[in-house]
Amino acid sequence: MKILLDSNLMIKNVFEPPLEWHFEGDSISLRTLLQKVKERCASLKILQDGEEGDDVRNILINGKDYFLIGRLDAILNDRDRVALEIYLDPLGGG
């Protein structure tokens, strides 16, 4: 199965959605997908201690808010689209 990941944010050579993720089996949880993303982009706080990290603004699964469909336990099936909205950590001085 494959999942398409999109994001509002792209870091060249580090995190460049849209990305296709391939998994064995018929379905995975959103948490499993985010674990894979975290492994690929450790600098973003996407998953921390099994929960969504500080950098996550929102997650849409096929356009629906993940809060409404099981949060991190939401089941992803073949060809589902996950949109990950991420905040940057501002440098506050001036």
Partner 1 sequence: MGGLGSPVATYLACAGVGKLTLVDFDRVDLSNLNRQILHWEEDVGSHKVLSAGRKLRELNHETEIEPLAVRLDSDNADGLLRGIDLAIDCLDTMESRFILNSACFRQRIPFIHGGVTGMWGEVATFLPGKTCCLECAFNRGTKDKGPIPVFGPTAGTVASLQAMEAIKFISGVGRLLTDRMLYLNGEEMEFFSVVIHRKAGCDICTLEETTVPTP
What residue ranges bind partner 1 (CB under 8 A)? 7-12, 57-58, 60, 83, 85, 87-88, 90-94
Residues 53-90, buried b or exposed e (16+ Cβ, 10 A)? eebbeebebeeeebeeeeebebebeeebebbbebeeee
Work out how close the CB of 23 gets to partner 1 at its nearest, in angstroms, rounded to a whole number.
26
Find the shortest distance in angstroms from Cβ 89 to partner 1: 8
Q: Which is nearer to partner 1, 25 or 94 (CB)?
A: 94
Q: Minimum distance between the CB of residue 36 and partner 1, rounded to whole angstroms?
A: 20
Q: What angle do CA 45, 14, 42 make, to 5 degrees?
A: 30
Q: Which is nearer to partner 1, 15 or 28 (CB)?
A: 15
Beta carbons of 43 and 14 less than 8 angstroms apart: yes
Whichever of 17 and 28 has its CB closer to partner 1, that residue is 17
